C-alpha cells in the first residue's frame, strides 16, 4: 500500500565556503511518517534529471548534490520528490518534453542556501561533520564529509552511486553520425589432445579482428590451461594495436574467450575492458558480454544487497558477479553453473549474448528474446595431408569448438555450424558441445532479434536465421524500389552498408522495366581515418568531402541509396558534394524506416531529440532542407517483409525487435523498465 498523508521532517545544510572550494554542497536529510502504507523508493528531480533518493535508515532519506560556486543558487532551493508512480509519470513527461507541473509530487524538500562565505575555509568542514554527527548516524556523517570533500574532488563515489542509470549511459562512447556498433564476443575450446600453447589465443585473436566492426574502443582475451590461473591481456584500442606476438604468446591454454567493446553502460576506460574475471569460492570465472541489461539498476542493487562489492559501473561486471550468487534453490555438490546461469536469465532477461569461461569449459548463452546474435562453429583439421581445408571439413572430427557474435568471424581454421538459439545455454567442453537448457522468453513475450543487425551492424557475409545478411539487404533495396520508384539515369549507394540495397533497388527497377543501371558514384577514401576536424556544422561538410570520392555523376539524375539516416549529419553534405560534381537531380532513398526511438539494448541510438526523423517528419520538408529532389524511407512493414522473405525458421517462431522504429520495446514500455 502506498504511503497516505505523509508527514516529512527535514534538516538541511549547505556549505558556504568559497575561499578555496569550487563547489557548494547541498545536503538534506529527511524522515517520512505515513498514517498508512509505505513510501517505497523515492526519487528527486535535480537539475532536470530524476535520481534515486538515498535511503539512510528506516523511513530516513538523504539528498545531496553540488553546484559550482559561481552559479550556486542562494535562498530557498526547492527539490520535488516523487514516489514510484510519480517517478514513472515524471520520466514519461520528461521524455515527451512536457513540463512536470501535472505530475503528482510526494513531497517538496526545501534547502536554504544563505550564500557563499569568503574566509578561513577549515570551518565549513568542522560544521559539516558537526552537523552530521549531531543529526545522523555514521553513514550520514560519511556522506556529509564526502559531500564537503567532493567540493574539492568533485564527489566521485557517492554522486555516482545516486546517479540514475540513464544518466550514467551518457558516459558511453560518443558518435557524430550513424549508429555505433555493439560489442563482439568470441570463444574457443580445443578438443582432447590440444596442447596448451597459444594457438587457441591466435584463433580468438583472428576472430576478434573479424568482429572489429562491432566495437573499436577496447579489446581483451582470457585463456585457461585448465586451472584457475587465467592468462589475461586487455587494453584500449583496436585488436591489431592491443595484441602482438609477445602478448599472444603468453596467452596459453586450450580454451579462452575474447571481446571487442563499444561501451554502453560504463565509460570507455581500461577498467571496463572485457572479458571480466572474478575469483569465486569455486574458482575463477571470466565473462564477455554483448548487449545491455535493461534492469541493470535493480540487479545492481540486488547484488550489492547480497554483500557483493562491484568495482565498476559496467553491467558486464554485474553479470559476472551475479553468476557468483548461489541460486535460491541452493547447491548440494559444489556449484551448479547451469542453474546459476538460468537464475541470472530469470533475474535479467534482456539483452545479452555471453561467453562464460570456467577453468575447463565455456558456456555460450543467448538471452531468451534472442535480441543479440550468437553462433556456433567448429575448428577444422587444416593439416594439408588430410586434404585442403574444405575437403577435410566434415570428414574428420572437429578439433574444437568456437562461438562468435557473427559467423563472419569463422574464417581459416573455423567453420559455421549453427546459431545459438534464443535462450539457449550451450556447454562447450573438450569432449564436445551440448545444449544444457533453453530458457523461453517471459510469459506472453515474443522473440526479438535486433532488426538493425540486418540493416546496418553485421558484416554482409554473416548469417542470421539461416540467411545471409547481404541477401536481406538486397531484398530491402528491392522492396524500397517497389515502394518508392523514381525516374533517373543511375542508381548509386552511400558506401558501404548501402551497397547491397542499391544493387537490389536497381535490380527491382529492371523488373519494373525501368532499367536504371547501378553505378559507383561514391567511393570511400581508404586512407582517411579520424581527422582533427571538430564537429562544427561548417567543418562537417569538409569531413564528408574528405571521406568520399565522387565519380560518374556529371549531367545525371541520381538515385542515391543509404542504409539509414540517424542524426541527418551525412545526407546534406553528400548531396552538396554530388551537386558540385554536376549531378542534375538527387533522389535519396533510405533502405530502412525512420529511426524515432532510442535503443536500450546495446546500441548507441541517440536521444529522441537528436534523431532527425523526429525533427523533420515530413519527407518533402526533409528533402528540401537537405537539398534533395526527393527523399523516401522504406516502410516498417517493408523491412519486416524483406527480413522474413528467406527466413529459415521451419516451424520455429521468429520475431524481430523494431523498437527504434516503432517504440514497441520487447520487454515492455521503457517506463516499466529502468531506463
Ligand X SMILES: NC(=O)CC[C@H](N)C(=O)O
Q: Where on the chain is the footprint of ligand X (CB under 6 A)?
A: 182-183, 261-266, 272, 274, 289-292, 314-316, 602
Computed over its alpha carbons, how large is the radius of gyration of the chain? 28
Dihedrals phi, psi of 428, to nearest 5 degrees: -115, 120
Work out what residue 564 binds among ligand X, ligand PRP, none; the CB cut-off runs from 5 to 8 Å by kind. ligand PRP
Q: Does 209 bind ligand PRP (CB under 6 A)?
A: no
Closest distance between ligand PRP and the C-beta of residue 94, in Å? 24
Measured CA angle at 364 (ends 358, 370), to 5 deg: 150
CA distance 671 to 675: 7
CA distance 414 to 397: 13
CA distance 373 to 120: 60
**CB closer to ligand X out of 292 and 427:** 292
Q: Does 562 bind ligand PRP (CB under 6 A)?
A: yes
Report which DSSP code applies to 604: B
Answer for which of 2, 11, 19, 177 binds ligand PRP (CB under 6 A) is: 177
The stretch among 74-82, 165-173, 225-233, 561-569 that binds ligand PRP (CB under 6 A) is 561-569
Q: Does 566 bind ligand PRP (CB under 6 A)?
A: yes
**CB closer to ligand X out of 368 and 572:** 368
Answer for which of 3, 494, 501, 659 binds ligand PRP (CB under 6 A) is: 494
Q: Which residue, among 599, 630, 596, 629, has the nearest Cα to 613 in the 3D structure?
A: 596
Work out what residue 387 binds among ligand PRP, ligand X, none; the CB cut-off runs from 5 to 8 Å by kind. none
Active-site hit among 3, 124, 183, 660? 183
Other Cβ atoms within 10 Å of 473 Cβ, number:
29
Cβ neighbors of 674 (< 8 A, separation 6 or more) are 165, 294, 295, 296, 297, 298
Q: Does 78 bind ligand PRP (CB under 6 A)?
A: no
Q: Is 450 a catalytic residue?
A: no
CA distance 630 to 619: 8
**CB closer to ligand PRP out of 39 and 573:** 573
Our separate counts of H helices and E strands in the chain read: 21, 31
**CB closer to ligand X out of 264 and 493:** 264
Q: Does 497 bind ligand PRP (CB under 6 A)?
A: yes
Work out what residue 315 binds among ligand PRP, ligand X, none; the CB cut-off runs from 5 to 8 Å by kind. ligand X
**CB closer to ligand PRP out of 283 and 495:** 495
CA distance 268 to 175: 13
Cβ neighbors of 23 (< 8 A, separation 6 or more) are 66, 67, 68, 69, 72, 150, 151, 152, 154, 155
Answer for which of 227, 496, 609, 646 binds ligand PRP (CB under 6 A) is: 496
Q: Does 543 bind ligand PRP (CB under 6 A)?
A: no
Tell me whether strands 184-190 and 400-404 are parallel, antiparallel or unpaired.
antiparallel
Burial of 651 (0-12, 13-18, 19+ CB in 10 A): exposed
Work out what residue 316 binds among ligand X, ligand PRP, none; the CB cut-off runs from 5 to 8 Å by kind. ligand X
**CB closer to ligand X out of 291 and 423:** 291
Q: Does 568 bind ligand PRP (CB under 6 A)?
A: yes
The stretch among 221-229, 553-561, 566-574, 597-605 that binds ligand PRP (CB under 6 A) is 566-574
CA distance 521 to 578: 9
**CB closer to ligand X out of 374 and 591:** 374
Residues 392, 394, 400, 404, CA torsion sign: positive
Work out what residue 518 binds among ligand PRP, ligand X, none; the CB cut-off runs from 5 to 8 Å by kind. none
SS (H, E, C) 336-356: CHHHHHHHHHHHCCCCEEEEE
Report which DSSP code applies to 553: -
Answer for which of 182, 292, 367, 563 binds ligand PRP (CB under 6 A) is: 563
* Residue appearing with cell numbers 545491455: 292
**CB closer to ligand X out of 148 and 285:** 285
Burial of 588 (0-12, 13-18, 19+ CB in 10 A): buried
The stretch among 258-266, 467-475, 558-566, 620-628 that binds ligand PRP (CB under 6 A) is 558-566
Work out what residue 467 binds among ligand X, ligand PRP, none; the CB cut-off runs from 5 to 8 Å by kind. none
CA distance 75 to 110: 10
Work out what residue 567 binds among ligand X, ligand PRP, none; the CB cut-off runs from 5 to 8 Å by kind. ligand PRP
Q: Does 462 bind ligand PRP (CB under 6 A)?
A: no
Active-site amino acid positions: 183
Q: Where do contacts with ligand PRP occur on this chain (CB under 6 A)?
A: 177-178, 494-498, 562-570
Amino acid at each position: 500500500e502506498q504511503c497516505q498523508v505523509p508527514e516529512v521532517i527535514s534538516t538541511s545544510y549547505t556549505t558556504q565556503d568559497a575561499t578555496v572550494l569550487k563547489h557548494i554542497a547541498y545536503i538534506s536529510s529527511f524522515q517520512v511518517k505515513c498514517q498508512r502504507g509505505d513510501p517505497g523508493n523515492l526519487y528527486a528531480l535535480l537539475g532536470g534529471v530524476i535520481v534515486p533518493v538515498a535511503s539512510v535508515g528506516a523511513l530516513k532519506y538523504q539528498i545531496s548534490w553540488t553546484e559550482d560556486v559561481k552559479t550556486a543558487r542562494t535562498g530557498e532551493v526547492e527539490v520535488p520528490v516523487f514516489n514510484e508512480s510519480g517517478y514513472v509519470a515524471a520520466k514519461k513527461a520528461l521524455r515527451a518534453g512536457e513540463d512536470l507541473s501535472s505530475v503528482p509530487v510526494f513531497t517538496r524538500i526545501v534547502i536554504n542556501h544563505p550564500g557563499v562565505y569568503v574566509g578561513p575555509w577549515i570551518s565549513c568542514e568542522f560544521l559539516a561533520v558537526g552537523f552530521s554527527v549531531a543529526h545522523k548516524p555514521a553513514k550520514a556523517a560519511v556522506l556529509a564529509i564526502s559531500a564537503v570533500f567532493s567540493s574539492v574532488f568533485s564527489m566521485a563515489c557517492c554522486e555516482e552511486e545516486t546517479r540514475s542509470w540513464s544518466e550514467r549511459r551518457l558516459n558511453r562512447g560518443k558518435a557524430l553520425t550513424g549508429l555505433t556498433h555493439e560489442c563482439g564476443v568470441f570463444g574457443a575450446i580445443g578438443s582432447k589432445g590440444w596442447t596448451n600453447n597459444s594457438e587457441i589465443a591466435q584463433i580468438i585473436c583472428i576472430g576478434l579482428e573479424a568482429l572489429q566492426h562491432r566495437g573499436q574502443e577496447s579489446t581483451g582475451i582470457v585463456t585457461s590451461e585448465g586451472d584457475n590461473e587465467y592468462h589475461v591481456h586487455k587494453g584500449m584500442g583496436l585488436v591489431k594495436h592491443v595484441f602482438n606476438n609477445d602478448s599472444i604468446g603468453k596467452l596459453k591454454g586450450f580454451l579462452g574467450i575474447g571481446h571487442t567493446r563499444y561501451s554502453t553502460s560504463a565509460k570507455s576506460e581500461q577498467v571496463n575492458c572485457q572479458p571480466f574475471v572474478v575469483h569465486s569460492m569455486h574458482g575463477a570465472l571470466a565473462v564477455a558480454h554483448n548487449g545491455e541489461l535493461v534492469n541493470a539498476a535493480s540487479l545492481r542493487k540486488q547484488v550489492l544487497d547480497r554483500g557483493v562489492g562491484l568495482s565498476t559501473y559496467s553491467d558486464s561486471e554485474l553479470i559476472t558477479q551475479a553468476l557468483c550468487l548461489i541460486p535460491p534453490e541452493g547447491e548440494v555438490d559444489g556449484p551448479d553453473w547451469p542453474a546459476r546461469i538460468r537464475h541470472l536469465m530469470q533475474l535479467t532477461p534482456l539483452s545479452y549474448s555471453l561467453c562464460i569461461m570456467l577453468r575447463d569449459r565455456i558456456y555460450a548463452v543467448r538471452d531468451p528474446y534472442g535480441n543479440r546474435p550468437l553462433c556456433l562453429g567448429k575448428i577444422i583439421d587444416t593439416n594439408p595431408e588430410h586434404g585442403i581445408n574444405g575437403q577435410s571439413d566434415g570428414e574428420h572430427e572437429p578439433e574444437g569448438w568456437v562461438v562468435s557474435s557473427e559467423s563472419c568471424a569463422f574464417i581459416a581454421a573455423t567453420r559455421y555450424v549453427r546459431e545459438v538459439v534464443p535462450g539457449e545455454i550451450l556447454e562447450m567442453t573438450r569432449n564436445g558441445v551440448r545444449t544444457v537448457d533453453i530458457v523461453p522468453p517471459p510469459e506472453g513475450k515474443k522473440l526479438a532479434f535486433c532488426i538493425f543487425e540486418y540493416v546496418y551492424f553485421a558484416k554482409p557475409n554473416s548469417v542470421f536465421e539461416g540467411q545471409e545478411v547481404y541477401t536481406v539487404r538486397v531484398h530491402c533495396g528491392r522492396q524500397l524500389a517497389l515502394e518508392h520508384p523514381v525516374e533517373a539515369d543511375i542508381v548509386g549507394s552511400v558506401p558501404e552498408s548501402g551497397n547491397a540495397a542499391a544493387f537490389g533497388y536497381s535490380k527491382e527497377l529492371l523488373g519494373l522495366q525501368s532499367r536504371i543501371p547501378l553505378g559507383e558514384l561514391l567511393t570511400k577514401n581508404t586512407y582517411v581515418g579520424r581527422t582533427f576536424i571538430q564537429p562544427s556544422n561548417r567543418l562537417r561538410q569538409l569531413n564528408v568531402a574528405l571521406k568520399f570520392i565522387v565519380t560518374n555523376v556529371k549531367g545525371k539524375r541520381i538515385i542515391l541509396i543509404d542504409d539509414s539516416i540517424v542524426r541527418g549529419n551525412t545526407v546534406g553534405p553528400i548531396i552538396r558534394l554530388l551537386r558540385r560534381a554536376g549531378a542534375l537531380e538527387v533522389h535519396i532513398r533510405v533502405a530502412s524506416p525512420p529511426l524515432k526511438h532510442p535503443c536500450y539494448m546495446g546500441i548507441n541510438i541517440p536521444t529522441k531529440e537528436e534523431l532527425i526523423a523526429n525533427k523533420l517528419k515530413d519527407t518533402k520538408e526533409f528533402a528540401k532542407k537537405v537539398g534533395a529532389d526527393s527523399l523516401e524511407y522504406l516502410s516498417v512493414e517493408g523491412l519486416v517483409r524483406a527480413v522474413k522473405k528467406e527466413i529459415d525458421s521451419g516451424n520455429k517462431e521468429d520475431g524481430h525487435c523494431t523498437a527504434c522504429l516503432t517504440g514497441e520495446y520487447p520487454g515492455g514500455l521503457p517506463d516499466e523498465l529502468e531506463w
